[in-house]
Amino acid sequence: MSAAVSSAGRPAREDLLRGIWRENPVLIQVLGLCPTLAVTNTVANSLAMGAATTFVLVASSVLVASVKQIVPHQVRISAYILIIATFVTIAEMVLQATVPDVHKELGPFVALIVVNCIILGRMEAFASRHSVGRAFMDGLGNSLGFTLVLLLMGGFREVLGNGTLLGRSLFGASYEPWIVMILPPGGFFTLGLLLLVIGWRTKRKDLTPRIRRWPLGVGAPREQEAAR
């Protein structure tokens, strides 16, 4: 077979693609809004938070899927939190050692990845019920979807709020920054705008008229008759 197929008969890549767009944890499931709103004032902060969350979610998904058979059902949530906290500690130490300035700007939100509902939700809903391979793909897909939203918001807010992108000036000294965009109201405005676009796109797709199928012999178009 050219592509791995899941036990449900669905290509394994669907576990990856589903979390990136169709079931995006922020735009569709509306989860993880606290870090989404708090750290997306710059691209650097968004990238660091996205990388840390990706590491924690993927590593936790793989480990939970690996030990799901030996963890008693009664203590599974406690075990999941302990696993997640371990990887969060590793991610925080790496950020503090490699990018201390960014780590300082992120403040407590790296440590709060432990209680991010996206991560605990994927452990309970998917990783604890599927194979290691599928858990890896699901964790990677959801973390990439989360990171994509962070980068979209971080880029939009940094460009308008600072006139920069990754710290580099885009418009020169004459540009008057929209300070509100790097403040908390800017996060709410940007997220609301993204949700508005998603809602409009979904509504438009639902209202797309269907092509009418004419039965043969009852006013069928010539093109349909010729095709048959």
Domain ranges of the chain: 13-206
Q: Which residues are CB-contacts of 147 (< 8 A; sequence separation ≥ 6)? A: 46, 47, 50, 51, 53, 54
Look at residues 143, 167, 156, 165 and name the one whose alpha carbon lies nearest to residue 50: 143
Structure tokens, 226: 């010729």
User: pLDDT at position 140, please?
Assistant: 96
Answer whether residue 217 shows pLDDT above 60. Answer: no
Residue-level pLDDT at 52: 96
Closest CA to 65 of 4, 145, 138, 143: 138
Angle, helices 132-162/117-125, rounded to nearest 10 degrees? 160
DSSP code for 20: I
Backbone angles phi, psi at 207, to 5 degrees: -90, 0
Sorting pLDDT into bands at 50, 70 and 90, what band is 205?
A: confident
> pLDDT tens digit string along 82-110?
999 999 999 999 999 999 999 999 989 99
For 23, 93, 149, 170, the CA distances from 20, given in Å and listed in that order, are: 7, 27, 10, 29
pLDDT given at position 200: 86
pLDDT tens digits, residue range 7-40? 455 667 888 899 998 899 999 999 999 999 999 9
Query: What rounded mean pLDDT belongs to the chain?
Result: 86
pLDDT > 90 in the chain, percent: 70
pLDDT at 210 over 70: no
Q: Which two tokens stand for residue 179?
A: 């300070």
Q: How far apart are CA 104 and CA 106, in angstroms?
A: 5
pTM for this predicted structure:
0.83
